[in-house]
Amino acid sequence: MGLIDADALVIDQLTRLFRSDFEIHEGDDVVGRITTQGSAMARMFGGNREFLVTEPDGTQVLRLRDVMNFMSRDTYEVLDGADHPLGTLRREFTLFAKKVSFLPADGGDPLEVRGSFFGYDYSILVRNEPVAQISRRWAGLATSLFGGQRYAVTFLPGASPRLRQVILGTVIAIDLMKAKDDGSAAASSS
């Protein structure tokens, strides 16, 4: 059984300098990793960031590209394990709430995110039907003090592998947007 077959995953952030890496667990087993790609210099100077989602043996499951944006919305391209486009996640402009949209590359139904996704308590829906639930989990005192996060992703049982890839890509991109927002808030308050 692979990473995309699990009905429930727990994602743990591994805090590292200039990196956003994660381990993905099913129960007590590590079933995947999310690693930051490219050099630290490229990331420091605002280049595109890429994140690779792999199974423990290194098999690629997903790739996310944080597309460079000047004066526009955060945009992430989500690709499958063979680097074929699954779709694009974009932050939407709204006055009072934070909102994201996922537009599938194949023209299928868009995903909708409802709840407090920057508080890790939200649902992902397709045609107003929940397909995944995301919730914050206690990461432990030491991890929390250093900004690490832990959250659970519960998929609709029987969801297709492609839908699970899209959901996982959406969840990771939302986490990366939150990290950007947290970094911007910290930078502006110092």
CATH 3.50.50.60 is the classification of domain 3-189: no
Comparing 38-47, 78-87, 153-162, which segment has the lowest mean pLDDT? Answer: 38-47
> What would the mean pLDDT of 69-77 be, rounded to a whole number?
75
Q: What is the pTM of this model?
A: 0.83
Number of Cβ within a 10 Å radius of residue 145:
10
Comparing 6-10, 19-23, 146-150, which segment has the lowest mean pLDDT? Answer: 146-150
Q: How far apart are the C-alpha atoms of 70 and 74, rounded to whole Å?
A: 9
> What would the mean pLDDT of 125-153 be, rounded to a whole number?
76
Q: What's the distance, Cα to Cα, between the start and end of the chain in Å?
A: 47
> What would the mean pLDDT of 19-32 be, rounded to a whole number?
87
92 neighbors 99 (Cβ within 8 angstroms): yes
Q: What is the pLDDT of residue 66?
A: 87
More confident residue, 39 or 37: 37
> What would the mean pLDDT of 26-37 be, rounded to a whole number?
91
> Is residue 126 pLDDT above 70, yes or no?
yes
